[in-house]
Chain A
Amino acid sequence: DQQVKQNSPSLSVQEGRISILNCDYTNSMFDYFLWYKKYPAEGPTFLISISSIKDKNEDGRFTVFLNKSAKHLSLHIVPSQPGDSAVYFCAASETSYDKVIFGPGTSLSVIP
C-alpha cells in the first residue's frame, strides 16, 4: 500500500502560469516532507522541503504548502517556465534521520 500518493500522473501548464502539484500521504507519523525534480536519464535532484512545524516554505519560484490535518501537501511553481518540465516526486519521512518514502511522481509539461 502506497504511503505517499500523487494522484495526477501528468500535468500541462502554459508558460508563465502557476503549476500546482499535489501529494497525499497516509502515515500520520510522517514529519518531514520533500519535493524532488527529475529530468530523463538523470538522478533526482532536491527541490524544497518542509517540516511539520511549518505550513509553508518558499524558495524563489517554488512554494510548498503542508496541511497536516488533511495529510496533504502541494508544490506551487510561479511563474512556470519550460525548463520546469520534468517529473516531480513528493517524498516523506518520520524524522530527518529516517528512511525516505517517495510517491509515484507527476510529469509536468510547461508549454511555451
Chain B
Amino acid sequence: NAGVTQTPKFQVLKTGQSMTLQCAQDMNHEYMSWYRQDPGMGLRLIHYSVGAGITDQGEVPNGYNVSRSTTEDFPLRLLSAAPSQTSVYFCASSYSAGKQFFGPGTRLTVL
C-alpha cells in the first residue's frame, strides 16, 4: 500500500493564481481531511470529508474548496492564491476521525 500520497511536494505560486493540491489514499478510508501547518499555530483543519459526496468546513476554510467524488481522492483547490496561504499542507485519511494517517505534505509558497 502507498498509504496517503500528496502531489506536488513543493509549489511556488504568484498572488491570484489558482491551483489544486492532490491527495489520494489506497486504504479505503472513509474519512479524509486537509490541514495547514504554520509556525506557532500547529495543524489547523481546513476541510474534511466523512465519505464520498460529503464535505464540511474546518477551522480555516476561507479561500479553499474541496470535493470528494471518490473514496480515494480528496483534492484541495486554492481559488485565488494569497501570501497568507503560504504554508505546509497535509492531507490525512482514516477509518474514523481518530487515528489518521498523514501524507508527506506539500510546501506552498505564494509570492
Q: Is chain B a partner of chain A in the same complex? A: yes
Interface-side segment among B63-71, B79-87, B93-101: B93-101
Q: Nearest residue in B to A95 (C-beta to C-beta)?
A: B97
CB neighbours (8 Å) of B99 from chain A are 34, 46, 49
Distance between Cα atoms of A103 and B45 in the complex (Å): 11
Knowing A97-B50, A101-B59 are in contact, say whether A49-B45 is a contact too (CB < 8 A): no
Contact partner, A96, options B43, B56, B98, Cβ 8 Å: B98
Are B42 and A103 touching (Cβ within 8 A)? Answer: yes
B29 at the interface (CB under 8 A from A): no
A42 contact set on B, CB distance < 8 A:
104-105
| Interface assignment of B41: CB less than 8 Å from any CB of chain A | yes
A102 touches B102 (CB 8 A): no
Could you say which residues of chain B place their CB within 8 Å of the CB of A49?
Answer: 98-99
Least Cβ distance of A104 to chain B in Å?
Answer: 4
Query: Do residues B100 and A89 form an inter-chain contact, with CB atoms below 8 A?
Result: no
Question: What residue in chain A is nearest B99 (Cβ atoms)?
Answer: A46
Instruction: Determine if A32 is an interface residue (Cβ-Cβ < 8 Å).
Output: yes
Q: Is the interface of B mostly helix, strand, loop or mixed?
A: strand
| Cβ of A100 under 8 Å from chain B | yes
The residue from B4, B33, B90, B96 contacting A97, defined by CB atoms under 8 A apart: B96
User: Complex formed: what's the CA distance from A9 to B42 in Å?
Assistant: 10
B97 touches A96 (CB 8 A): yes
- Closest-by-CB residue of B relative to A102 is B43
Task: From B40, B58, B104, give the contact of A99 (CB < 8 A).
Answer: B58
Q: Which residues of B contact A41 (CB under 8 A)?
A: 104-105
CA distance A89 to B45 in the complex (A): 13
Give the interface of A toward B (CB within 8 A): 4, 6, 9, 32, 34, 41-46, 49, 89, 91, 93, 95-105
